[in-house]
A and B are shown apart, each in its own frame.
Chain A
Amino acid sequence: MTSISKSPWLLHYDGSSCNGCDIEVLACLTPVYDVERFGIFNTGNPKHADIFLITGGINEQNAPVVKQIYEQMPHPKVVVAVGICACDGGIFKECYNILGGVDTVLPVDIFVPGCAARPEAIIDGVVKAIGLLQEKRNAAKKQNAAQKRSAGKERDAAKKEATK
């Protein structure tokens, strides 16, 4: 449990949701469920966020918007699709305008089904997302260390070639 799992900041975005899941997400912040005691709080700024909570399906209009928000978030980041509409389009799956769930445009890490998803399920999904964040952070650190070592080896090899 390092600092990133103790301070995960949430970004909540409504793709095309009916607002049912959004209300449940906000309910998590109320005194009954109170996710702030885990250090989670709802920031509106993608540049400050670690976890991207999406509700609602993806259509032509919001696909580039959702992608842009995701790209603005600094690494490490996880995407949580809340509600069945965000998972695979839900009851609107057959509609002409809905492309599908969030995984049509973004790499989704956690799927939280439900219509509307219950706060307990959302919190469960967010806790799993926090664990994933930690794994991604560790993997990124290992990758950085490996890159530095291989860059060092290349430099040493180049020096040897030069001195030959």
Chain B
Amino acid sequence: MTTAIAIALYLILGPIIGGLLAGIDRKLSARMQGRQGPPLLQPFYDLFKLFAKQVVVVNHVQDFLVGGFLVFIIFTGCLFFSGGDLLLVFFALTLAGIFFMMSACSANSPYSSMGAQRELLQMMAYEPMVLLVGIGFYMSTGIMSTGSFAVSDIIKSSTSNILYLPGFFIGFVFILAIKLRKSPFDLSTSHHAHQEMVKGLTTEISGNILALVELSHWYENVFLLGIVGLFIVNSTWWSVIIAVIVCVAVYFLEIFADMVFPRVKWEFMLKSTWLITLVTGVLNMIVLSVIR
């Protein structure tokens, strides 16, 4: 019953919260640059406008793959928020990313193909950390009670998992910049005003298909902030409030980093991400296994 409620809430509130997050992002970025910035609801105006444009179909495979991306992102989020297995959630997320990358490959344009190659490199950069986070949760729940990958067990922990997983948290916030497509790691495609290789992955996508890509990104952002919150939530009710505050703070940090840092080359992204994964994730894991 609660599963159904959680899924329904995610399906309905997900795009609304995601769109508001995007609006806050643009407004805050503008204010950091000394500008007024668009209204908070601007992403929703963008979405409705995209649905009103003429449909220019490059090929139908691309549309099908973008649809697959949307479906699997929603599946990932529903699985996560209904308390499912964390590893399965991460694998579904990876599959959604592959769908998105394939849609860019199918377009046969040089910008899309290069964007797809960079997207693959990005996935190679952040996947180790993401999988380590899953293992970290298993180890920390194992220290507190019995080890479990299920989100429904993780949120029932006696204390916030971040106390055992500080390194994983730092590492995850680092790769969050890649997942949220923000500088310094917005190599494959970036949100709105930033441009790289025209638009990278989304170069050949227009009209209502682009609107679906935007919607998928909103669902994905809500899910990613949910993972950040998972580090904080425990069996007490007020931990949820602290989790929300931490999510807002992390999002603000990502926007700040976006405005401060320029885009880096893929070699630097790969090296720095793997180094951070090694230093924070693996070290944390070694410490946890010694504690056990």
**Contacts across chains A and B counted by CB atoms under 8 Å:** 83
Instruction: List B19-74 residues whose CB lies under 8 Å from chain A.
Output: 26, 30, 33-39, 42, 45-46, 48-49, 52-56
Q: Are B56 and A41 in contact (CB under 8 A)?
A: no
Q: Are B199 and A48 in contact (CB under 8 A)?
A: yes
- Binary contact track A40-64/B, C-beta < 8 Å → 1, others 0: 0111110110100000000000000
Q: Are A41 and B204 in contact (CB under 8 A)?
A: no
Stretch at the interface among B77-85, B148-156, B205-213, B247-255: B205-213
Which of A6, A36, A45, A74 touches B45 (beta carbons < 8 Å)? A6
- Binary contact track A1-39/B, C-beta < 8 Å → 1, others 0: 011101110000000000000000000001100101111
Q: Are B54 and A36 in contact (CB under 8 A)?
A: no
Q: Select from chain A the residue with minimum beta-carbon distance to B210.
A: A48
Main secondary structure of the interface of B (DSSP, over half): loop
- Cβ-based interface call for B239 (8 A): no
Please give the distance in Å from B51's CB to the nearest CB on chain A: 8
- Cβ-based interface call for A93 (8 A): no
Q: Are A39 and B195 in contact (CB under 8 A)?
A: no
Instruction: List B176-228 residues whose CB lies under 8 Å from chain A.
Output: 192-193, 195, 198-199, 202-207, 210
Instruction: List A72-123 residues whose CB lies under 8 Å from chain B.
Output: 72, 74-76
Q: Are A43 and B199 in contact (CB under 8 A)?
A: yes
Q: Are A4 and B35 in contact (CB under 8 A)?
A: no
Q: Are A4 and B206 in contact (CB under 8 A)?
A: no
Tally A residues with Cβ within 8 Å of B: 26
Q: Are B45 and A48 in contact (CB under 8 A)?
A: no
Give A45 to B192 CA distance when docked, in angstroms. Answer: 11
Give A42 to B192 CA distance when docked, in angstroms. Answer: 9
Q: Are A38 and B204 in contact (CB under 8 A)?
A: no
Residues of A within 8 A of B42 (CB): 6-7, 39
Known contacts A36-B30, A36-B193; A45 and B35 CB within 8 A of each other: no
Residues of B within 8 A of A50 (CB): 49, 53
Q: Are B195 and A44 in contact (CB under 8 A)?
A: yes
Known contacts A43-B199, A45-B203, A74-B207; A31 and B34 CB within 8 A of each other: yes
Ordered by A's residue number, 19 sampled pairs between the chains whose C-beta atoms are within 8 Å are: A2-B48, A2-B52, A3-B45, A6-B42, A6-B45, A7-B48, A36-B26, A36-B36, A36-B37, A38-B38, A39-B38, A45-B198, A45-B202, A48-B206, A48-B210, A50-B49, A74-B53, A76-B54, A137-B52
| Supplied contacts A3-B48, A44-B199, 7 more A-B pairs, CB within 8 Å | A7-B45, A36-B36, A37-B37, A38-B38, A39-B39, A44-B198, A50-B53
Interface of B with A (CB < 8 Å)? 26, 30, 33-39, 42, 45-46, 48-49, 52-56, 192-193, 195, 198-199, 202-207, 210
